[in-house]
Each structure stands twice: as C-alpha cells, then as structure tokens.
Amino acid sequence: MPECVFCKIAAGDIPANIVYEDEQILCFHDLEPQAPVHVLIIPKKHIDSLDAAADDDAAMLGLLLTKVKEVAALLSLENGYRLVNNCGEDGMQTVKHLHFHLLGKRRLLWPPG
C-alpha cells in the first residue's frame, strides 16, 4: 500500500533505526518514545489492523509474537517489558498498519492511559 508510512519504512523508502529484520517482520525505534525503550514491530505485509488479519496470516503473526522475546533480549529488557497493540479508533490506532509497541527499561504502571 503506497501511502502507508510503515509500508514505506518496510520497503526502505523512509529511513528507520532498525533493531531487527527478516523476510516477514521489521522492528524499529519509535520516533515518539513513551518509555526509555520503545520499538515498533510490524509485519512487512500490509494488514490494516489486528481486526483485519485473516486466517492465512496466522503463521506470520505467530512468528512475529515469538520474535518478541528475541528483540527484547537484543534491547536488554531483562527486567520485563510490555507489548501493546492499539486496534481501531477507540484503541487509539494512529497508523493503519498492524503494529505492536514493545516498551521497557522503566516500571510500566497500570492501568495505562
């Protein structure tokens, strides 16, 4: 999807501070961090939101979720982290490309927001 900023980042058209990349997923630092470590983990395939994921996306989503612990280790998040997905307008999803926020390196309070 050419107008999607995350698709442009995945294609290399917009630079990003990349933490991890493979054929299906990309992880990069958020430009407006909400914690000392705040990275975004996205599928390279454009999917509008978690609600738009199809059954044939299950393997890629499983891979994405199992890579979280590897990315957390790369970022030295040994004391824990939070993984967040904002879905839809009420969930405050601002970029219409499925993504997860990985936050850490500080105590994350509950409830958020």
First to last CA, the chain: 31
For the chain, the structural domain boundaries read 5-104
Q: What is the pLDDT of residues 84-102, one digit of tens each?
A: 999 999 999 999 999 999 9
Exposure letters 31-53 (e unless 16+ CB within 10 A, then b): eeeebebbbbbbbbebbbbbeeb
Q: Say which of 29, 38, 46, 99 is annotated catalytic.
A: 99
Domain 5-104, architecture per CATH: 2-Layer Sandwich (3.30)
If you average pLDDT over residues 79-88, what whole number do you get? 96
Residue positions counted in the chain = 113
pLDDT at 111: 84
Instruction: Retrieve residue 57's tokens.
Output: 């996306």
38 is catalytic: no
pLDDT at 112: 76
